[in-house]
Each structure stands twice: as structure tokens, then as C-alpha cells.
Structure 1
């Protein structure tokens, strides 16, 4: 039994050496080409939509960490099997390790934005993993043949220690290099030619537990298919406008900054946000009007019905052209809350189009805008049967009190946020207790029709278990839909309800 465990450990250690040093090489060259990340991204692409939505609901922001961990566990189990096979036939065990690398190689080669340098990490894994297994097998065989047991055992232990150190150096070194490369590049942003109005003071200090009126950059939700953060520098970045336009145009970052800037307060919402969910945030954005950028290429005579936007690694998102150019403040963004974009949120340039869910409007790390038709080209989410026209649904969320919390009898302040982008904002929020009559809540200040509003309601709570519900009405008279719907294919709907206990 001990011998089998030792050989299984040989396979695992050899794999860790290959994966760890390949990860270090990828961190230096192309982070997305790391074998584990490439396989993880492939798993994301192949995962059915219901399972993706379940993972987001269940694990929240930890879904990517759990995915990578699951992939790594699966790899190490197979690596242990490779070690056991190598005990009988070394070539078979080494071949299984090469097969695992082959899967990673396919994932790397087929990823969008693949370049020749991206194969370097998998080549490192292909060479070092099997080589480490062969070294361990031969050192063990020498120890088994030798009469000087203490010396040969020390040699085997030393070999294992050196390989383990190499694996650790690769894994830790890769993280350090990635962290260093992710440090923000300092950019001096221009002042807005068309600034946003003075930002009003919200209810943050008046209603404990309510969501901040403005979401800090570090707290802003992040939902995308990336397991890494693209490292793009302003000197290398360009934006190309092509497709059914009068002329193809490419501009660099300085040329974009020279264009007239606008500043707008806009709330973004992810289509995966369930009723009462966390994937919504509000910020002040700085950028160029999308229509000004499209005008550079000329699109007055286009037959296109979509803008196919592409990020630095080939991820595509489609936006209905008529909605993007209907007068709303669609932006090519360079700044967020008075600072340059964080790398996690699209540095150096992303799209922000108010009133549309992010999967058709908020391309991060954008490098290309192609005017085309839905018949000719399909984006990532379109291929997976998500809606092509997905306006954000009116919603109201209860932030405080928390579900199943214990409250003292007497005055309880219920508070939260509501949003109704592209519908003249929020006109009214109402609260219902235990299925009774709807009562109007008090609204916080408005920062524009595309921005959420805080609200609160003072409730005289009596002892017992109570159900609280909320609903919102937009400025155009449209009310929040009460019928429950899951996020797929065009966003969730329904009323946010929760139970609290009063004593």
C-alpha cells in the first residue's frame, strides 16, 4: 500500500512541477495560456447555461476559484493514476501525463486570440512533467537496487524535495509575476467636456445597512468568463471600427483621450442577477460617446443591425445597433469614479451602455467594434441562446433588515435600492408587510434616470414572524413585474421578499 501511495505521489509531484513552471511562464508571457486556466476556460465554454447559472447563484464571486480548484483536483487525480501506471510501465504513466498536457494544448490553441507564443507554457509542461516522472522512477529504482539504503533514500528524498521546490517556485512565482503585471498603469485622464451634475448625498449615513449610493471600485461586482485578468497597456492598445462602415478606422489610446469626453452616473446590472441579488452596481463613468466613435468610420448608410464588440482575447458581445445609437448615453469608457478603469473592470477601455444588461452592452478590454448583422455573425452569448435584445428589468431590492434576522419590536427601518434604467428612473417604491396593502416608501435623492435610487420605510413591527416585500414603479409609469422568472434568457423578474422575526 505504501509503495502504491509513493508512486501515486510521484505522478502528482511530476504534474505539479510541469503545471507550476508552466504557470510561471504563462504569467510572464500570456496568463490565459496557463494550462489549468486554459482548461478551466474551456470548461466554462462547454458548460450548459443552467449549470452556469446554478454555479453563480450557489457560489457567487467564488465560482471561478471553485472551478479552477475542481479542474486542478481532477488533474491531480489523473496524475496519481499516471504514477501508479508508471510503477509497472514507465512509458504508459508518462504517456498519460502527456495526454493531460495534450488536453491543455487543445484548450490553448482553440481559445480566442490565440498567438504562437501561447504554446510555450504547454510545451514547458509537456517536457518537465514527464521528465520529472522519469527522474523519480529512475531514482526510486536505483534506491531499490542499492545496498546503501540510507544514501539512496536520501537521494530520493532530495530529488523529491528539489522537484517540490520547483513546483512551489513556479506556482508562487506565477502569482507574484501576475500581481506585478496587474499593478495599475498611471494614466492622466482629461476633464469632461460635458460633466455630470454634482453628485447628491445619499442615505448611507441615515439608514444603517443600506447599499452605498455610489459603489466603490473595489466593491463593484465582476461577472465575466475570464479566469485571469487581461494585461493591456495603453501604448499597445488600439480600437478598430470596421464592418459595414464607410471606412475602417483604427485609433490609439491618446487619440481616444483627445476626443470630447462626457461624464455620466450609470447603474450596471448583470443578466445573471437573481431577484434581490448582488450583481448590480452604480458608478460615475468618464468616456467618449459611442456614436462619436462610430462616426469616425461613417455608418449612416449601414445595413447592420448589431455592433459586434471584441475584447483583447477575442471574446465577442453583440449590441443592437438601434438601441446603442438611440440617444442614450452609450459610452466608450476610460474612467470610473474619478479614476482610471481598474484592470478587473476593463482597463484601458470598455463599453458602458445604460439600460441594457451587461452581456449585450458592457464589453471590457474592448479592441474592436464591428458593424454587422445577427444573421452574419453571432457573439458568444448569442450562440448560447441568450436574448439579443435585453433591456434591464425594473427591480427593487431589500438591503436591510436581512432575511431571517431577529428584530426588536417597535420601529424597524426597511431600506434598499431600486433601478429602472432608460425608463425615466424610479418614481416610486412600495413596501408590503404580510401580504397587506402596498405602502409608499421614502426615496433618496436622484442622480439621473440611469442611476439607482435608495429608499427606506419605517415599519412599526409587532412580535412574530413577518414577510416583507418590495416593488418599484418607473418614471414612465411601468411597474415592476411580479411574475417570477429566472435570469436565462433575458434577466430575472419577480418581487424581492424575505422573512424576519420580531421579538
Structure 2
């Protein structure tokens, strides 16, 4: 039976026209009203955020709050379960949760309209609190925008339920309509349907306006100065840089194997930014401070005027499970970090280098690692072009041999020297303070679980940045380990490709790979989860040969 709530009406009087009967408004009407009202509130928030960068979307603001406050294990579980889809899934979940809260508020409004006002006020205050935490946000405007969105939601409830409660003069002999009568059904559904369509349209407009603030057009106009014989930016330059960085002995010709240089468009992206920061290089400045003798502030042009170098470095996310895709090899152009540190003058107490992004994410690593001979760059270019926006434009850090969570800060705005006690974002959340990349290998081909009998290539990549790969071996079923052909590499800071020709016989087979780095370490078979300092184990795939 459908729950209903009667709207109060005045009593009948003898001899007078029968009063409008009490309207029994079904409970689903309140719930639907609340859902639509919450959608309207979120849409108004999206629209306002589209007009100004100082007011974040309410959905994004709450999402950022969740990311900041969630335990590291929760965030890691999200990455493992959803991969690079974790951000849209989180935002979708927040929208659904908001609509469900709206449904509860709407049902309460059936008996007391003030409850919906209070509910949406709380809705707005929570959104304002979340929004003002955003580093790009203006606290005052964030509060105004959130309360405006809440007011729109509360008004929607009042108008919709007011229409739903419009009585109909009864023509019954007794002057009483049936208890389940809902005479304003058509008007109510028409209004809520129109409000839903308007909410979707307004939300879409807001996101479109926000996208118009993209700095991609500005990025495409940047011409990077040459480094190491590279040409200017552009498609031709990108092709030339990639070709130059690919060793003659690379195994790119092996079908379906990962290319030696990972294209920028397919390079993995794992970070905390729910919305990619849009940083105008004309307004951007890099601060270098903390425990230094001469604090610096550099513009984008200042950095481009320095002597740039170009290095090929493999980066990996610490969340990368054995055999997964969150690793890539690219050509990075930028200024050696030591050049900047020497200008600033690092004090003896400056034991850690902290990179801080424009959205306040931070990561740190020991200062001594910048001086031990590894590649450590303030990077402004990737694969022959200015950094793609999603990979940190206008500048980021690239440090060979370290997982990204302790080094690879994108959208960089500050380099700060601190003492040993400092703990960056991921450390209090359960991850190791030191994050050296572990020796790993991956099978890229065969990719299908079914292959034809005969001679086929088994191939993939292996990496141990800073140590280098000495050999790669493959085991078929429980047979002997077989040495693979290992492709060339420009340095020990990049991955290598490998292949093995296999005479595949019919049946089910398990293919396993292991790598040995140049320190003599060989990957073990024991599987270790990524948390707290990176996954371990041998990658294996099962295939059926027919």
C-alpha cells in the first residue's frame, strides 16, 4: 500500500459550497520532489562554477573532501577496483548520494515544509564548507554559491509540493474525494519533468563553461627551446624526439608489444585531482623556499630561458599491481633540479625536497637523491612537446627510480626544502616514506587467452629504473626458465622490451616472466600487494593453444 500524507483543508460549513477535500499526497511524490530539488541544487552549483574559477562545483568540492579525508587503504582500494575510472565513479556516487538525501528531505517536507528548508540549508552549509577548502576557492563566494544552490533546492520543494497539494472541488454527494485522490498528478509530473530537464541542461552548461577555461589552446602555442639537439615543438618535433630516443635495438616491431617510448596520450594518469588544474603559464610562478639561503620565484619564461636537458625516464605508480598498466616510458625535457637547488642554496637542515602542486597535493623525497647522479628534473616537456595538461602543464617533477607518490608532483607551484620530520600526503595514510621503484616485468603478448598453434612471439617490458635490467626469463608451465632477447635501452633509467619465440603446442599453458636487475636481484614468485611500498611477484598469463 502506498503511504500518503493528507494536506490540511478548512472544514465544511452548512449551506456553503463544499470545501476542497483533503488531498492524500503519496509519499513517492515527496521523494521524487526531493530528488528533483537536489538535482536542481547541484545544477545551480555547476552553473555558478562554470562562470568563475573561484567557486568549485559542489560535487567536486565534496569529492575532494572525501579524497583528502579518506584513509589511504580506501583510496588504494578504489584505484585497484576502478583504475583510472576511480574519479568519475566517485563523482557519480556523490551525485547519487545527494539525490538520495534529497529524497529523504522531500518525504519529510510532506508533513512539514520547514524541514525541507532546514535540510537544504544543511545541504548548502556542508557544500560551502567543502568548497571553501579548495585552494582555488574564494571563501565568501563559495558560501554564497552553496547557499544559492540550497535555496534553489528548497524553493523547488515548496513549489512542487504546493502544486501536488492543489485540491479539487468534489462532485461527490458527500463532498469527499477518495483518500488516494491525486488530482494534481499531471501538473506535478509536468513541473518536475521540466525541472529535471532544466537541471540537466543547466548542469551541462556549467560544465561546458568550465571546460572553456581550459589552457590547452595556450599550451599549444608554447614553443619549447631545444634541448640536446631537439627541434621546436609540434607534431614533427614529437616524432623526431621519439625516434631519436628509441634505440636501434628496440623491439617495437614485435606485434602488440609496448612501444619503447609511451605516447603521451596513452601514458598512465594516477593522481588526486578530480578536476585537472588549468594553470595559465603567463600567471604561474614557481617558488623555491623553505630551508634555503636564497628563496626564489621563477616565471615560466624564466625556466624556458635556462639550459634545458632531455632525458628518457620510466615512471611507475606505486599502486601498479604485478603485470598492470600504470607504468610508462617517456622523453622528459626540463631543468636539472640541482641547477635550481644550487641557485637557492640548500641549508644543511634541508634533508627533504617537497613538491607542492597548485591544488596543495605534496610529495617528498630525500635531498641527497637529487645529487646522486640520477635524473631529477623540473620538467616542462614530454615527448617533444610542452607537458600535456593532464600530465602537469606547465611544470612537474620527474625523478628516476622513485614511485610517483613520493616524487612526481604535477602542476607544480612550489619546491620546499624541509627537515627529516616532514611527512607528505601519502605517508600518514600508511605508505612508506621512501619509495624506490621495484624491479618488475610484464607480459604484453600474447594478449588473447586463445592463440593458434605454431611459432608465436611472447613479449613485454621489464624495468628497474636506476639499476637497469640484466636479463629477462620466461617459463612455460613448469619447465625450465628460458632466456629472452632483451631490446636496447638509452640508459638504466628506462624500461626494456623483451621477447621469446615459442613453438606453441595445443593445450592449456601458463606463461610466467621474471627479470633480473643489474644488482643481481631476481624477481621472486611470492605475490606482494602494492601497499605500503610497491607490488612484488612474477606476472603470469594463461593461454589455450588450438
Q: What is the alpha-carbon distance in structure 2 between the residues aligned to residue 412 and residue 318 of structure 1?
A: 45
Say which of 366, 373, 390 aligns to 1:320.
366
In the TM superposition, what whole-angstrom CA distance separates every residue of 1:181-225 from its partner, at most 9, and x where no partner exists?
225122111111576865335756532221122211111111111
- Name the counterpart of 1:402: 447
Change (3 A) 1:473 1:130: same
Say which of 454, 461, 467 aligns to 2:510.
467
- Structure 1 position 414 matched with structure 2 position 414: no
Q: What is the alpha-carbon distance in structure 1 between the residues aligned to residue 31 and residue 371 of structure 2?
A: 60
Say which of 435, 453, 471 aligns to 2:496.
453
Q: Is the 8 A contact 1:34 1:121 kept in 2?
A: no
SS in 2 for 1:457: strand
- Structure 1 position 498 matched with structure 2 position 544: no
Q: Is the 8 A contact 2:167 2:183 kept in 1?
A: no
Q: Is the 8 A contact 1:430 1:439 kept in 2?
A: yes
Q: Is the 8 A contact 2:55 2:138 kept in 1?
A: no
Say which of 39, 56, 72 aligns to 2:79.
56
Deviation at 1:113, TM superposition (A): 5.5
- Structure 1 position 133 matched with structure 2 position 133: no
In the TM superposition, what whole-angstrom CA distance separates every residue of 1:109-130 from its partner, at most 9, and x where no partner exists?
3345553344443233222221
- Structure 1 position 25 matched with structure 2 position 48: yes
- Structure 1 position 95 matched with structure 2 position 121: no
The TM-score normalised by the length of structure 2 is 0.86
SS in 2 for 1:13: helix
Moved more, 450-459 or 36-45: 36-45
SS in 1 for 2:332: strand
Change (3 A) 1:58 1:306: same
SS in 2 for 1:382: coil
Alignment of structure 1 residues 330-345 onto 2, 5 Å: 330-345=376-391
The structure number with the bigger radius of gyration is 2
SS in 1 for 2:344: coil
Deviation at 1:261, TM superposition (A): 0.4
In the TM superposition, what whole-angstrom CA distance separates every residue of 1:440-481 from its partner, at most 9, and x where no partner exists?
111122132111111110112222221111111223433334
Gapped regions of structure 1 (runs ≥ 5):
none
SS in 2 for 1:72: helix
- Name the counterpart of 1:350: 396
Deviation at 1:160, TM superposition (A): 3.1
- Name the counterpart of 1:485: 528
Change (3 A) 1:31 1:489: farther
The TM-score normalised by the length of structure 1 is 0.93
Change (3 A) 1:48 1:32: farther
Q: Is the 8 A contact 1:318 1:382 kept in 2?
A: no
Alignment of structure 1 residues 215-234 onto 2, 5 Å: 215-234=262-281
- Name the counterpart of 2:174: none
- Name the counterpart of 2:11: none
Q: What is the alpha-carbon distance in structure 2 between the residues aligned to residue 336 and residue 32 of structure 1?
A: 31
Q: Is the 8 A contact 1:393 1:480 kept in 2?
A: no
Q: What is the alpha-carbon distance in structure 2 between the residues aligned to residue 199 and residue 246 of structure 1?
A: 41
- Name the counterpart of 2:351: 305
Q: Is the 8 A contact 1:25 1:120 kept in 2?
A: no
- Name the counterpart of 1:429: 472
Q: What is the alpha-carbon distance in structure 1 between the residues aligned to residue 202 and residue 105 of structure 2?
A: 21
Moved more, 83-92 or 93-102: 93-102
Q: What is the alpha-carbon distance in structure 2 between the residues aligned to residue 39 and residue 179 of structure 1?
A: 20
Q: What is the alpha-carbon distance in structure 2 between the residues aligned to residue 374 and residue 40 of structure 1?
A: 31
SS in 2 for 1:5: helix
Q: What is the alpha-carbon distance in structure 2 between the residues aligned to residue 205 and residue 327 of structure 1?
A: 29
Say which of 405, 418, 443 aligns to 1:372.
418
Change (3 A) 1:144 1:341: farther
- Name the counterpart of 2:213: 181
Q: What is the alpha-carbon distance in structure 1 between the residues aligned to residue 73 and residue 183 of structure 2?
A: 57
Q: Is the 8 A contact 2:37 2:153 kept in 1?
A: yes
Q: What is the alpha-carbon distance in structure 2 between the residues aligned to residue 163 and residue 131 of structure 1?
A: 12
Q: What is the alpha-carbon distance in structure 2 between the residues aligned to residue 56 and residue 439 of structure 1?
A: 34
Q: What is the alpha-carbon distance in structure 2 between the residues aligned to residue 198 and residue 38 of structure 1?
A: 41
SS in 2 for 1:37: helix
